[in-house]
Amino acid sequence: LKARGFEHAGIYNPQGVGGTHVMYVLHHANQPELYHGLPKDPQIDTSINLWKGALKPLAAAGFIATFAGLIYHYIGIGPNKETDDDEEDHHE
């Protein structure tokens, strides 16, 4: 594209998002907003950073604690047993 007269041609790969997994080759890489509203300096939303950062290990710890509680309950108390009404009458 540069040989065809597009001096600012280039690949759109913004640093603020850590890779887009898509390659955009733009005629005017210095003005990405000309192409369907691509942001010039995009940033990842704070909630996404929080979810991928701090909340991921907390969710894993919560899952492990729940699973450990499930095993503890199963070993300590055992599975639930269903009793019929006839069996309850025999115990009285």
Q: Give the per-residue pLDDT at 68.
A: 97
State whether 5 and 35 are in the same domain: yes
State whether 16 and 51 are in the same domain: no
Q: Give the per-residue pLDDT at 22.
A: 73
Quick one: average pLDDT of 71-88? 79
Report the alpha-carbon distance of residue 49 to residue 16 in Å, rounded. 12
State whether 55 and 31 are in the same domain: no
Which residue in this structure is represented by tokens 């599975």? Answer: 79
Look at residue 65 and tell me if it is in a domain.
yes
State whether 39 and 49 are in the same domain: no
Q: Which structural domain range is residue 12 located in? A: 1-43
Q: If DSSP codes are grouped into helix, strand and coil, which group holds residue 25?
A: strand
> Do residues 22 and 11 lie in contact, with contact meaning Cβ atoms separated by under 8 Å?
no
Q: How do residues 56-70 score in pLDDT, each as one tens digit?
A: 999 999 999 999 999
Report the alpha-carbon distance of residue 37 to residue 6 in Å, rounded. 20
Q: Give the per-residue pLDDT at 63.
A: 98
> Do residues 12 and 38 lie in contact, with contact meaning Cβ atoms separated by under 8 Å?
yes
- Our count of domains for the chain comes to 2
Q: How do residues 17-61 score in pLDDT, each as one tens digit?
A: 666 677 778 888 788 777 777 877 777 888 888 888 889 999 999
Which CATH number does the domain housing residue 62 bear? 1.20.5.480
